[in-house]
Amino acid sequence: MPEKLYEGKAKKIFATDDPNLVSQQFKDDATAFDGTKKSQIVHKGVSNARISACLFRLLEDNGIATQLIEQTAEDTLLTRKLDMYRVELVVRNYAAGSIVKRLGFEEGQKFKKPLVEYFLKDDSLHDPLITCMHIEEMGLVAKDELQELKALALRVNQILSDFFAGRGITLVDFKLEFGKDSEGNIILGDEISPDTCRFWDAETGRKLDKDRFRFDLGDVEQAYEEILNRVEG
Ligand code: UDP
């Protein structure tokens, strides 16, 4: 039995024989609103592992270094071990979620150009929004590296937005996490899935992501499978 290194809300991380690689098993567990809403989404682990693998391969093909080595089981990805930054980057093309509440934008309003926001990864502080100066003060990311993370996030946004547009989906916003490998290279990690992105059907505006779970909109499983089919199709 491989050693479990960490269990998060959506994934379990296991050691492998290679100290530079870890195995990530995606769970069906779903949480929202700072962990206060908890349930399971049937088949989510498999859908998210497959969606994430597909999107990481797409990004690799477009010159973005990602954590992915290969999919080793329906719900499991073999990945490079990274030392993760304690900062999450959110890219927004349209207003939705927290920015609507925080700044009063109307949901669905298109931003003049994509916005990049930074959030501190700290459950005890409820993952607050932070500025570049906070990041510098707290020594979370070196200044030149932060510029690189921002540029990478915007490139990822361009690649994913084009990809999803071709599949009839509007990429509204998404969250990215980066880390460094043992040689100090900056690598995209974690996952890209309906748990971490907002996807709206381009024709109908129907939400095809975790908002269906957050706001009890129904047909949650179907939304994840719809994204899987459009990504793989
Ligand atoms: N997001 C995420 N993990 C988080 C917070 C946000 O994956 O801990 C994703 C979320 O699914 C959405 C985007 O980042 O696609 C922007 O989220 P927002 O700040 O609007 O927060 P929310 O209101 O969704 O919690």
Domain 4-80: CATH superfamily, name plus number: Phosphorylase Kinase; domain 1 (3.30.200.20)
Q: Is 113 exposed, middle or buried (0-12, 13-18, 19+ CB in 10 A)?
A: exposed
Closest CA to 145 of 185, 191, 192: 185
What pLDDT is attached to residue 182? 95
What pLDDT is attached to residue 91? 99
| Beta-carbon count within 10 A of 70 CB | 10
98 ligand 1 Cβ < 6 A: yes
**For residue 145, how far is its CA from the centre of ligand 1 (angstroms)?**
23
Domain layout of the chain by residue ranges: 4-80, 83-219
**For residue 183, how far is its CA from the centre of ligand 1 (angstroms)?**
30
What pLDDT is attached to residue 1? 79
Candidate of 37, 94, 173, 208 to mutate for ligand 1, largest count of ligand atoms within 8 Å of Cβ: 173
Q: What 3-state DSSP class applies to 208? A: coil
Closest CA to 171 of 189, 196, 152: 196
What pLDDT is attached to residue 140? 98
Q: Which residue has the tokens 């199709």?
A: 233
Mean pLDDT of successive 10-residue stretches along the chain, which has 233 residues: 95 98 98 97 98 98 98 98 98 98 98 98 98 98 98 99 98 99 98 98 98 98 98 96
89 ligand 1 Cβ < 6 A: no
Residues 118, 120, 123: CA angle, nearest 5 degrees? 140
What sections of 76-118 are H helices per DSSP?
98-103
Q: What 3-state DSSP class applies to 17? A: coil
Q: Considering only CA atoms, which residue is closest to atom 11 of ligand 1?
A: 196
- Which 8-state DSSP code applies to residue 10? S
Class of domain 83-219: alpha beta
- Tokens read off for 159: 């690649």
What pLDDT is attached to residue 181? 97
Q: What is the pTM of this model?
A: 0.98
Q: Which residue has the tokens 């509440």?
A: 101
